[in-house]
Amino acid sequence: MTGNDELSQFRFPETLSNQNRWFGFYLDELLPALIPVAWGLWTGKQLWGIGFGVLVFLGIRKLKKGRGSTWLRDLLYWYLPTSLLKGLFSTLPDSCFRQWIK
């Protein structure tokens, strides 16, 4: 067994920042898009739900273009009220307590 045969059994990502995908979509783009789709299925308005889901997906993809997946999470932290995100950012201080470090 040569060195190449031993390495072929392992899967190496192209970069260290490759994120998980479900059905070929990044999770931070897919999960917000599933909310309108689920709403459409729940209320019986499937076409509206799918249409809004596609718009949300494309909007997030356009906003994120050229940025990593943590950019959207950080945007939520800085600009949404802390009371909405208590479960998501429980270990971080409130974003309203900003201090400039020189």
CA distance 34 to 53: 6
* Residue with the larger pLDDT of the pair 5 and 23: 23
Cα–Cα distance for residue pair 66/102, rounded to 1 Å: 28
Q: Where are the domains of the chain?
A: 20-84
Quick one: CA torsion of 69, 75, 76, 80, rounded to 10 degrees?
Answer: -170
Q: Which tens digit of pLDDT belongs to each residue from 25-55?
A: 777 788 888 999 999 999 999 999 999 999 9
pLDDT at 84: 72
